[in-house]
């Protein structure tokens, strides 16, 4: 996931395992937190868009076993309404 994020310009959200599998949401904001051995404590970033550039420098500090989490993810669904999505977390492999 970390390597994919490093080369991606914008966040996307897709509902998997849902009756309407593959439904896409346009991300409109998120908070990001990462903690690792080389980060000197937790690192935080926030974006009011899908732009991932605020987290690029943090991703460069992460290595295997480090943790990253997206919270307060807001997105607009196919129906045009904005909603809060579930948090997403991953451990760097």
Q: Would you give per-residue pLDDT tens digits along the chain (93 residues)?
A: 556 666 666 777 766 665 566 678 899 999 999 999 989 899 999 999 999 999 999 999 999 999 999 999 999 988 899 999 989 999 888
From its phi and psi, is residue 22 left (phi > 0), alpha (psi between -120 and 50) or beta? left
Question: Is pTM beyond 0.75 here?
Answer: yes
Question: Which letter, b or e, does each residue of 14-37 get, where b requires 16 or more Cβ atoms within 10 Å of its Cβ?
Answer: eeeeeeeeeeebbbbbbebbbbbe
Q: Domain coordinates of the chain in residue numbers?
A: 2-91
Phi, psi for 29 (deg, rounded to 5): 170, 160
């Amino acid at each position: 996931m970390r390597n994919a994020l490093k080369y991606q310009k914008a966040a996307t959200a897709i509902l998997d395992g849902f009756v309407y599998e593959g439904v896409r949401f346009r991300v409109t904001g998120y908070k990001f937190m990462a903690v690792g051995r080389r980060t000197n404590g937790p690192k935080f970033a926030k974006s009011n868009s899908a732009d991932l550039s605020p987290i690029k420098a943090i991703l460069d500090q992460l290595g295997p076993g480090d943790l990253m989490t997206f919270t307060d993810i807001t997105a607009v669904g196919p129906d045009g309404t904005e909603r809060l999505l579930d948090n997403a977390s991953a451990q760097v492999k």
